[in-house]
Amino acid sequence: MSRLRQAVCAAVILCAGLAPGAAGAQSESIEDVFSDARLNAYVLEIEAALARAQAAEGLIPQSAADAITAAARPEAVPADALAAEYAIVRHRMVAFLNVFSRSLDADAANYLHYGATTVDIYDTAAILQVRQSILLLIEDLRAIELQLIDLAETHRDTPMIGRTLGQHALPITFGKKVASWIGENRRHIERLADLLDRVERSAIMKGAVGSYVGLGDRAQAVERRFGEELGLSEPYADDWHASRDVFAEYAVNLGLLARFYGRVGQEVFLLQMTDIAEVIEQRSSTAVGSSTMPHKNNPSLSEALIHYSRTIPALSDIVADDMINFFERDNTSRPNDAIGELSLETEDMLSAANRLVGRLHVDAEAMRRNLDRSGGWILSQRFVFALAPHIGRTEAEELIRDLAAEAHESGAGLRAAAMENAVIREALGEAEIDTLLDPETYLGLAGEQVDAVIAAARAAREMDPSVD
C-alpha cells in the first residue's frame, strides 16, 4: 500500500475522532473499512460517542460515559463471543450489546445504548464507512490523475486519427484524447468531494420512527454533540431513515465513475486491436497472453474496466432502490452488504485503471500510418475551407463531396483528385495543396487544450479534501 494511502487512512481516523485501536486505526484499504472487525470497531466508537454526548447534556452520569468510552475497544467484543451470542439471540445489535456489557460494571451497563435504536447505530456506522471510502477513492483517483497528466504531456503533440461513429474523422493528438479522460476523472473527484458534505451531516440518533422518543427533551442537542464526537458536521434535522438519498447518491456516483472507466477501457481495448494497434498494454516478460496462441497479448486490464462498468452500476441500482421504503422505514432492500461490495468493486476497478495507465505503450508510428490510410481524405474539410474564399463554401463542399464519392470507387487519394481537378488546381496551386495535406498541421488547438486541462487539474488538486 502506498504512503499516500496510509496517510489518508491516518487522516480519516483523526477526522472521525476514533481512539487508537478503534475503528480505522490500521486501515489501508476499502476492504478493511467494510470488514466485520472494522464495523464492530465503528459501533464501539459510536456507542462511546453517544454516551459522552448524553453525559454532556445531563442524560446519563459522566462516570458511565467514561466507563463506556474506556471499555470501547475491539477486545471487548471478540468475534467468537459475538458469534456464540448471536446464535442465541438472533439479533446482531443485541448480541453485540450483550457481549460488550460484560466489559462494564452494572452501573455503566445500565446506560449503554441508552435511548438508542439499532438502525441509528448501524446507519451512523455506514456513514463513517462511506465517508472513509470516499476519501480513499479520491486518493485513488488523484493517483490515476497524475499518471494521466504525465501521459498527456508526453503525447501532447503525438498526432492520431480522431474517430466519430467508428469512422476516420479528423486528426487529433493522443494527448488531446487523454486530456478528455483527465477532465472527466477530475469531475468524478469533485462529485465525491461534494458528496462529503452531505455524508458528514448524516450521523443520526433519532430513534425508531425518527421523533427522538427515548432521548428526552435534550435529544436534538444530544444528536448534535454525538455528531461532533464522531468528527462530523451538525446532523440533518429531518429523519432520513426512510429516504436513503445520501447512500443512493454515493452509489450513483460510483456507477457514473464505473461507466467512465468503462469508456476508457473500451477505447483502449479497441485501440489495441490488431487492425489498429495504436496502443498496447505492456506485460512482464513472463506473462502469458493465451494458452494456445503464443503470439497474443490479450488486453486484460482494459477488459477488466469494461467488466466493472457493467457490475458496479448493477450494484449501484440495488443501493439506490432502497430509497423506496415503506412509511418510516423498512428493511426490504437490505443494501448494507451491497454498499460494501460496491465500494470494494470500485477500489478494484481503480487499481486496474492505475495499472493500465502505467503500462500503456503508445505506438506513434502506427498512429501516423493510420492517419495516412485514407489517402488524405481526412483533410477534405480543410480543402473546403481553403477553397471557400475562391468559389464559395457551398460550391466547395459540393465539389469535395463529389470528388470523395468518386474516390470511394477509384481508390484515388485526395492529392491526385485535387491535382486532376482544374478548379482546385487553379484556386490553390500545387504547393498549397501539398501544405494542406499535412495532417500534423491540422490539429486545431489540441496542444493548447491539453495544456489548459492539465493546468486546471493541477489547480483543482489544491482544493481536494485534505489528508493532513
Gyration radius from the chain CA atoms: 30
Query: Can you list the alpha helix ranges (DSSP code H) found in 78-117?
Result: 79-89, 92-101, 106-109
Q: What would the pLDDT profile of 202-219 be if each residue is shown by its tens digit?
A: 999 988 888 888 888 899
329 given a catalytic annotation: yes
Which of the residues 2, 63, 211, 290 is marked catalytic?
A: 290
What number of CA atoms fall less than 13 Å from residue 191's CA on the CB side? 18
What number of CA atoms fall less than 13 Å from residue 462's CA on the CB side? 4
C-alpha cell at 319: 443501493
Is the pLDDT at 292 greater than 90, yes or no? no
Where does the pLDDT of residue 4 fall: very low under 50, low under 70, confident under 90, or very high at 90 and above? very low
Is the pLDDT at 78 greater than 80, yes or no? yes
What is the pTM for the complete model shown?
0.89
Is the pLDDT at 25 greater than 90, yes or no? no
Rounded to an integer, the average pLDDT of 27-50 is 93
Where does the pLDDT of residue 169 fall: very low under 50, low under 70, confident under 90, or very high at 90 and above? very high
Q: Which of 237, 227, 233, 230 is nearest to 200 (CA)?
A: 233
Report domain 130-153+166-202+240-370's class: mainly alpha
What's residue 288's pLDDT?
57
Report domain 3-116's class: mainly alpha
C-alpha cell at 184: 472527466
Rounded to an integer, the average pLDDT of 381-392 is 96
Mean predicted lDDT score pLDDT of the chain: 90
Rounded to an integer, the average pLDDT of 315-326 is 90
Calculate the alpha carbon distances from 281 to 155, 173, 226, 298, 371 in Å. 16, 19, 50, 8, 21
Calculate the alpha carbon distances from 390 to 183, 387, 424 in Å. 40, 5, 9
What 8-state DSSP symbol labels residue 466?
Answer: P
461 given a catalytic annotation: no
Calculate the alpha carbon distances from 259 to 253, 300, 307 in Å. 10, 18, 10
Which of the residues 191, 263, 329, 368 is marked catalytic?
A: 329
Q: Which of 361, 353, 313, 331 is nearest to 142 (CA)?
A: 353
What's residue 295's pLDDT?
60
Where does the pLDDT of residue 178 fall: very low under 50, low under 70, confident under 90, or very high at 90 and above? very high
Please state, for a pLDDT cut of 70, what percent of the chain lies above it: 90
